[in-house]
Amino acid sequence: MARARRHLDGRVVAITGAGRGIGRATAQACVRAGMKVSIGDLDLPAAQQTAADLGDRTIALELNVCERASVGRFIDATENRLGPIDVFINNAGIMPLAPFVEEEDAVARRQVDINVHGVLHGMKEALDRMLPRGRGHIVNMASTAGRVGFAGGATYSGTKHFVVGVSEAVRTELRGSGIEITCVMPGVVNTELGAGLPQARFVGHIEAPMVADAIVAALHSPRFEVYVPRRIGPLSKAGAAVPTVVRDAFGRLLALDRVLGRPDLDARRSYEQRAARSAGDLESGA
């Protein structure tokens, strides 16, 4: 029997890296659903502008996901102003691109700090509040790269595989607790993070509101895996079920090696420069 659709009106959601991109679009979709939204971002002016644009159901708070104490302060401030959090969305992340052997160690560490430890900090701090209440929903922004390793983004793919894996494991640990876990795996999204990326065959780029609407749909009707667009799911699962030689041929047919491996560097220059100095204020989906 299908579970009843959950009402979101008046619920409190906290979103990391929500000053722009998918995070901003998700905040907007949550406001439309009647939720009270806390926008966390290292770029506080961007968070404040987003909150101002979205109206009086939102607040903006400074957040550095690399520091667990900062995440804790973000949640405490959210709850002090909006009430107990019902949903926590781990959206912040970065995706600098380079061939693996050319990637600087500092860039790799920064990706792990933001994309991996940022998610861990968010989950642990949110669960500290949710578990005693016996309710809550954590949404982790992964990527299609969480199921498929993309040339040109090896470390990024590794961090997103981690997000999928830790989400699956924690979901199992929390069975019966009243806490829902959702893992979102979009394709390439037309945001700053996706700038200059060529399209795979048969799977075009998508817009941030499409991802945001899929997230809100998963809050209404909880499920673990959310692929955006939805057709990516069967393709990903089919690839995982066949021998490596078939999977490789399938990847070449879809031109997956070009998606992160042959970007337009001029088009990505602005993003790459910001990612190089970011400490957790950029979006996460790709």
Which residues does the annotation mark as catalytic? 156
| 3-state per-residue secondary structure call for the chain | CCCCCCCCCCCEEEEECCCCHHHHHHHHHHHHCCCEEEEEECCHHHHHHHHHHHCCCEEEEECCCCCHHHHHHHHHHHHHHHCCCCEEEECCCCCCCCCHHHCCHHHHHHHHHHHHHHHHHHHHHHHHHHHHHCCEEEEEECCHHHCCCCCCCHHHHHHHHHHHHHHHHHHHHCCCCCEEEEEEEECCECCHHHCCCCCECCECCECHHHHHHHHHHHHHCCCCEEEECCCHHHHHHHHHHCCHHHHHHHHHHHCHHHHCCCCCHHHHHHHHHHHHHCCCCCCCCC
C-alpha–C-alpha distance, residues 182 and 163, integer Å: 11
Give the Cβ contact number of residue 33 at 10 Å. 18
* Main-chain phi, psi angles of 95, to 5 degrees: -140, 70
Please, which residues have CB within 8 angstroms of residue 253's CB and are 6 or more apart in sequence?
Answer: 201
Please, which residues have CB within 8 angstroms of residue 128's CB and are 6 or more apart in sequence?
Answer: none
